[in-house]
Amino acid sequence: MKKIVLTGPESSGKTTLAEQLAAHFSTVWVPEFSRQYLESLGRPYAAADLLEIARGQMTIEDEMTLKASNGLVFFDTSLEVVKVWSLVRFGICDGKIEQWRSQRLPDHYLLCLPDLPWAPDPQRENPEDRDLLLERYRKELREQNLSFSQVWGIGEERLTNAIIAVNEFLKP
Cα distance between residue 20 and residue 81, in whole Å = 20
CB 105 within 8 A of CB 146: yes
Give 106-116 pLDDT, tens digit per residue.
999 999 999 98
Give 67-113 pLDDT, tens digit per residue.
998 899 999 999 999 999 999 999 999 999 999 999 999 999 999 99
pTM exceeding the 0.85 threshold for the entire prediction:
yes
Question: Cβ–Cβ contacts within 10 Å for residue 38, how many?
Answer: 17
- Sorted by where each begins, the domain ranges of the chain are 2-170
Amino acid at 153: G
Which CATH number is associated with domain 2-170?
A: 3.40.50.300
- pLDDT class of 129 with cuts at 50, 70, 90: confident
